[in-house]
Structure 1
Amino acid sequence: MISNQMIHKVFYSLKLSQVPKGVKIFSKTFKLNDIPAASVYKTITNIDLYHKYIPYCTDSKITAVSPTTKMPTEGSLNVEFQKYSIFFTCDVQCKENNLLKECIATVKEEDSSSKPLFEYLSTKWTVKDLNGNLLEKDNDKLVSKAFKGINLDLVKEATVMQDKHPGAEINLELAFKFNSYLYQTISVVFGDAVLELIIKAFKKQMIDMHRHSYR
């Protein structure tokens, strides 16, 4: 729920053309052994559900999608923490192939109930198949069989290969710069804490979504 203070907002546009000096970058990699990368990526790109499990996020929406890939190209988040109530609009880039998937969200506008917190804010998710090399070898075998004229159900074979080598390696990179010099000087504590908070929430959602899809 948006507070009454949001009536008196401060509007702030972030310059995306350049990453300002002094940006802090925090990164952490974790693995989910029994969940395919495709399932993990679906959780990350489903921005509409963020407010249901990310702490302090009270609203989230996909506001634009690619006409070709149907993946998000823009999203919005509302975050409420202590005295702050902030509405972010983000540019979203989704890239994927058989072995690597990325989702990058960069804040372009901050609509805040107080002085804008950030000069720059961006997250980057990278998802890899945990057994990507094995999958690549199996893909090569599949292509070889097809060229030899062996009759194959390609969709079924690909599904079998994915099920044979489940698991994903996930990296989250958080990059930001506070407008406040004081906040920026203590941002090491902030960055690690937020990274852990986000990863904990996403891991639980990734596991829950995967289990739900097989019920």
Structure 2
Amino acid sequence: MIPVTKIIRSCRSCKFITQTQRDLSFLFGSNNGAQSYSAKRILPYESTRLYELISDIDSYSSFVPFCKHSKVTKQYSPDNDGIRWPAEADLTIGWMTLEESFTSRIYCEPGSVVEALSGEAETSLKNNKLLLRSPNIHSPEKSASVFQFLRTKWTVTPFQKSVTTTTSQEVIQHNNIKDQTQVNLDIEFKFTNPIYASMSESFTPKIVGIMIEAFQKRAYDHLRN
């Protein structure tokens, strides 16, 4: 895990353009175009229990790095099990004295995918059953102040022996294979201002790793027993 203190120390050695607005642009990008980053872990817990943690967006501010505020503002109509999944949320991300707030449209495939969209981002979950139940639930798309578009997608998949990983850090060994789950985090975004991307070159690859490691700790704290 990359300690936040280490990132802060590295930040002190960087030269940034003086900020006249309270924004977090330097945390997320590395060039002027659309970018995508991903990370994955295989965790020793059932997929349904991990999905419950991911879909609990109200709790993000308590464990997701840099997330200062998270509040679900809309929910879908109840599914076949009577559960109302999140449909829209207000989020604030902060870094020291800097903050940025935005609204995310949430798309859920219960038990497998949670996708959060901002700006012009479009969902990858076509023919979503929850959306069919609540077709007009999302607010009109708005251009975010920092991002032209932002998509954050969490996917949980029951682990199969055929699944392989590239590094030993991505696997946590567990005696009972049926209780293992692969968790994927994918982030895609594009800045509204190309200057923002040039200010964030050293941070972009680290953020996704920090986020999934924070979720790994969250799962351990809540599901280990």
- TM-score, structure 2 as length reference: 0.62
Determine the structure 2 residue equivalent to 1:39: 49
| Shift, 1:190, TM fit | 3.1
Q: How many residues align?
A: 158
CA separation in 1, counterparts of 2:177 and 2:215?
Answer: 24
Gaps of 5+ in 2: 1-20, 24-31, 120-141, 163-175
Q: 2:118 aligns with which of 107, 114, 133?
A: 107
Determine the structure 1 residue equivalent to 2:94: 80
CA separation in 2, counterparts of 1:51 and 1:179?
Answer: 25
| Shift, 1:68, TM fit | 2.2
Larger proportion of helix? 1
Question: Contact (CA 8 Å) 2:40, 2:212: kept in 1 or not?
Answer: no
Moved >2 Å (runs of 4+): 108-111, 182-191
Question: Rg bigger for which structure?
Answer: 1
Q: 1:168 aligns with which of 144, 164, 181?
A: 181
Identity %: 26
Structure with more relative contact order (C-alpha pairs < 8 Å, separation 6 or more): 2
Whether 1:129 and 2:158 are equivalent positions in the alignment is yes
CA distance change for structure 1 residues 52 and 178 in 2, over 3 Å: closer, same or farther?
A: same
Amino acid at match of 1:73: A
CA distance change for structure 1 residues 170 and 195 in 2, over 3 Å: closer, same or farther?
A: same
CA distance change for structure 1 residues 164 and 30 in 2, over 3 Å: closer, same or farther?
A: closer
Amino acid at match of 2:94: E
The CA RMSD measured in Å over matched residues stands at 2.7
Amino acid at match of 1:28: A
Partner-residue secondary structure (3-state), 1:199: helix
Alignment of 1:13-92 (within 5 A): 22-32=33-43, 34-69=44-79, 70-92=84-106
Larger proportion of strand? 1
| Shift, 1:198, TM fit | 0.8
- TM-score, structure 1 as length reference: 0.65
Gaps of 5+ in 1: 1-7, 11-20, 134-162
| Shift, 1:9, TM fit | 8.9
Amino acid at match of 2:102: F
| Shift, 1:209, TM fit | 1.7
Amino acid at match of 2:203: F
Whether 1:118 and 2:129 are equivalent positions in the alignment is no
CA distance change for structure 1 residues 118 and 164 in 2, over 3 Å: closer, same or farther?
A: closer
